[in-house]
Amino acid sequence: MTIGKHGALKVHAIRLKPGDDLRDELERFTKENDIQAGFIITAVGSLQYASLRLANQLIISNFEGKFEIVSLVGTLSRDGVHLHVAVADETGKTLGGHVMANCEIYTTAEVIIGEAIELHFSRETDDQTGYRELVINPKLER
């Protein structure tokens, strides 16, 4: 188990517009603002196209329609983002998975990002899982 403790928090708020790519914009914002240890506090909005990797699947599943974002969670760092989303269709049916590129905003996405300013997140390949997993360290001074 890895535990990071910190006492300082910075909050960022962004609004994405129609046609923006959810993942790409969060990656861009993270890099432009040199966020070393970010996380999603809350988000609301909608998608018109969702590209997700579903649980225990290697392929990407694509969904077209009008979806409300009912949950967005994840970590953000200059090494990359790890995001999961739950979206609901017009009947309320909910679908969720790992956010891939091509999750296109329909009307808006209002995303509040927390930044643990005394920590640094990175991603390194984990021999046990085979995935690039989160590594937590004290903040890197630049």
In this structure, is residue 9 part of a structural domain?
A: no
In this structure, is residue 38 part of a structural domain?
A: yes
In this structure, is residue 50 part of a structural domain?
A: yes
User: Partners of 51 in the beta sheet?
Assistant: 62
Distance between CA 141 and CA 21 in Å, rounded? 30
In this structure, is residue 6 part of a structural domain?
A: no
Q: How many CB atoms lie within 10 A of CB 125?
A: 9
Q: How confident is the model at residue 2 (pLDDT cuts 50, 70, 90)?
A: low
In this structure, is residue 5 part of a structural domain?
A: no
Q: Considering its fold, how many domains does the chain have in total?
A: 1
For residue 139, the model assigns a pLDDT of 85
User: Partners of 132 in the beta sheet?
Assistant: 125
Write the CATH number for 23. 3.30.1330.80
User: Looking at the predicted structure, is the pLDDT value of residue 76 above 70?
Assistant: yes
In this structure, is residue 65 part of a structural domain?
A: yes
In this structure, is residue 2 part of a structural domain?
A: no
User: Partners of 37 in the beta sheet?
Assistant: none
- Encode pLDDT of 47-73 as tens digits: 999 999 999 999 999 999 999 999 999
Q: Where would I find the H helices in the chain?
A: 22-32
CA triple 36-39-41, angle to 5 deg: 145
Query: What domain range is 92 assigned to?
Result: 15-138
For residue 142, the model assigns a pLDDT of 59
Token pair of 128, please?
A: 């046990």
In this structure, is residue 3 part of a structural domain?
A: no
Quick one: how far is CA 23 from the chain centroid?
6
Mean residue pLDDT across the chain: 94
For residue 1, the model assigns a pLDDT of 47
Token pair of 59, please?
A: 């392929």
Token pair of 86, please?
A: 């739950």
